[in-house]
Amino acid sequence: MPTLRLFACLPLMALGLFTGCTATYVNIPALTNDVAVHSPNAAPVPKVLETALLAVLEDQPVDGDFQVLLPEKLTPKAGAPIFKALGPNAKWIVDGHADAALPTFEARQVRIRGWLAQVDILQPRDLQQPAGFRQLVTVDLRWDFAYGWHTLRLRRWNANPDDALKISAHTEIQAQGVRPTQTQGQPLPGTGPGSGAVPPNNY
């Protein structure tokens, strides 16, 4: 049994060695009585956030400025690479000072299980009506030696965002049945229209 446990841990050990990552079990925000890492500054959380946001913005591009609300306690140092990747139109919402006229993308939940991750992002259902109804988008990601963190799929929920968040927070990440997003066999950092995004959940 000790030998089996060692072999089971080898992939996570390798992930830590090659990425400098020690946070292979993450829940943001914390769940009741869990033992996961909860800091948004712990690697690879910022990179996972960056990849997920890029996927959502590639799937539904924004024409002009937009706002991004990241998990509480994310430091400027950890957030800077995210906004560099998102481009000059991305504005960081700090201390709740948001512009109601701009579309807002809010990273509400992050779950990491070894080389798999999920990020729940709230966005306007209609980008032309930033203050209107919001929709939850769950981004599934995976890490591998060749491509690092990359997007597997987007799931747009039809459910009320608050209900969808509760369901998503307690849904364990599944490696099976996920359709990779590919171009010429290579996973993309994001998911464009018609390139593998799955239909909305029927919750």
Looking only at the bridges linking them, the beta strands covering 90-92 and 66-69 are parallel
pLDDT in tens, 45-98: 999 999 999 999 999 999 999 999 999 999 999 999 999 999 999 999 988 788
Where do the structural domains in the chain lie, given as residue ranges? 23-187
Sorting pLDDT into bands at 50, 70 and 90, what band is 141? very high
How big is the CA angle at 28 (ends 25 and 30), to the nearest 5 degrees?
A: 90
Residue 57's alpha-carbon distances to 45, 100, 124, 170, in angstroms, are: 18, 19, 12, 25
Token pair for 78: 């950890």
- The answer, as to whether pTM is greater than 0.95, is no
Burial class (CB in 10 A: 0-12, 13-18, 19+), 5: exposed
**Which residue, among 132, 130, 131, 106, has the nearest Cα to 120 in the 3D structure?**
106
Dihedral sign from CA coordinates of 177, 51, 155, 170: positive
How crowded is residue 45: how many other Cβ atoms within 10 Å of its Cβ?
26
55-70 pLDDT, tens digit per residue, is 999 999 999 999 999 9
Any idea what the Cα angle at residue 105 is, between residues 69 and 115, rounded to 5°?
A: 85
What's the residue count for the chain?
A: 203
